[in-house]
Amino acid sequence: MLLEYPLFYPDFACIGKACKDSCCKDWLIDIDFDTAEKYQKMGGALGEKLSKKLHKKDGEFYFEVEKDGRCPFLQEDGLCEIQRERGEEELSKVCDAYPRKEYIVHPYMQLDLHLSCEEAAKAILSWKGELIREEVEDERISEEEDMPENNFDRNGQNENLVSLLAFRQSLWEALPDFPKDIHGFFAELKTVFLQGEEILFYENTAFPYCKELEALENGLTEPFFSEESFREYCKMNEEIQGRGELWKSFQTIFHRAEKDLQNKMQSFYREREKLYLEEFCRYYTFRYLMTGLKKKSILPLFHLIRKCILWMVYTDSLLQYYAKEEEKKLFFYGEEKAFFRVAVFFSKEVEHQKKNMDLFLE
């Protein structure tokens, strides 16, 4: 099995209380079954608190956050009460692994970090695409292959995998030469994806996007910002299911500003602000490349990249022009590069739920 992971992956280390945000706030803390059993048997004051705070719904265990959005075991100094008293080995699998993520689609396995962790985001948004590749054996692979989401036709899958990896490599090599403005960048990105789609999936059949590709190759492009894209942004905000109190705060700002936003949408996008377009393309094409195997198309991946960045750019303007100062502080907005904070917020509130990302693949 081929294993890939970014060069920065092995060196990641949590910065604990030095982190402005916290992975222990604003969402339910999932607890795996084995850890839940252990918590239920634990004695002492900590065991009593664990039994009180541990909830179960639909067969799943979790810690419900307190009224202020914090995990009941998150202490004022930003450290975990369970880890402090009993050691890291007593943490649940989710708490122990985050922000690390593992993904397997036979014969491929990848390891990466969630963008929702601000320390991981610093590495991701300065990453130039350096990867480590290994051939590994994994005893769990037969179990993974039996999972419903992995039960698709495997004929020619190795060949398709190689082709997808080659497409990704060629895209990454071309990214530094893409136009730097957001309109030109996405016109070039769409051209590359359509060319790749024709080669990878329509070699022996009629290609349905010939006119669209020809127009792009002749320099005929649509603006990134338009009335249509603004309506798309509004629709996303109706359909996205956010995870916590911060999402509710965002929705309050959005609905307060929505009408005025529409009138001013053409003034969006501050070209002086770094948008990390190359870096986001690397992140999303690494993390979601294997959707090409399941969808038998790479165009859903293009749609995902475009929609994620579209949402973040509009939200950046929303927070800049319409959030009150006390609201900006909730997002740590203005304390460092604005778009960095928007990206972390997006990943935490949107990307962590598969049903949200499925909307972006359409």
Q: pLDDT per residue over 73-91, tens digit each?
A: 998 887 889 999 998 889 9
Handedness of CA 173, 6, 125, 232 (dihedral sign): positive
Residue 164 belongs to a domain: yes
CA 218 to chain centre: 33
Residue 204 confidence (pLDDT) above 80: no
Question: Are residues 246 and 340 part of one domain?
Answer: yes
Give the residue carrying structure tokens 């948008």.
275
Q: Report how far apart, in Å, the C-alpha atoms of 238 and of each of 41, 228, 234, 307, 345 are.
A: 43, 15, 7, 14, 17
Residue 152 has pLDDT above 50, yes or no: no
Same domain, 71 and 218: no
Rg (C-alpha) for the chain, rounded Å, is 22
Is the pLDDT assigned to residue 140 strictly greater than 80?
A: no
Give the pLDDT band of residue 136 (cuts 50, 70, 90): confident
| pLDDT in the model for residue 328 | 92
Same domain, 54 and 196: no
Q: Which of 97, 123, 143 is the last residue of a domain?
A: 97
Domain count, the chain: 2
Residue 40: pLDDT band by 50, 70, 90 thresholds?
A: very high
Expressed as residue numbers, the domain containing 226 is: 154-360
Region of poorest pLDDT, from 51-55, 203-207, 227-231, 247-251:
203-207
What pLDDT digit, counting tens, does each position of 293-314 carry? 888 899 999 999 999 999 999 9
Task: Say what the pTM is.
Answer: 0.88
Q: Are residues 176 and 301 in the same domain?
A: yes
Return the sign of the alpha-carbon dihedral for residues 99, 31, 291, 132: positive
- Share the mean pLDDT of the chain: 86
Q: Give the list of residues 6+ apart from residue 202 with CB closer than 8 angstroms, or none.
A: 208
pLDDT band at 142 (very low <50, low <70, confident <90, very high): very low
Residues 325, 212 share a domain: yes
Instruction: Decide which of 51, 73, 97 is a domain's last residue.
Output: 97
Tell me whether residue 147 is in a domain. Answer: no
Q: Please indicate, yes or no, if residue 5 is contained in any of the structural domains.
A: no
Can you tell me the distance from the alpha carbon of 190 to that of 16, in angstroms, rounded to the nearest whole number?
40
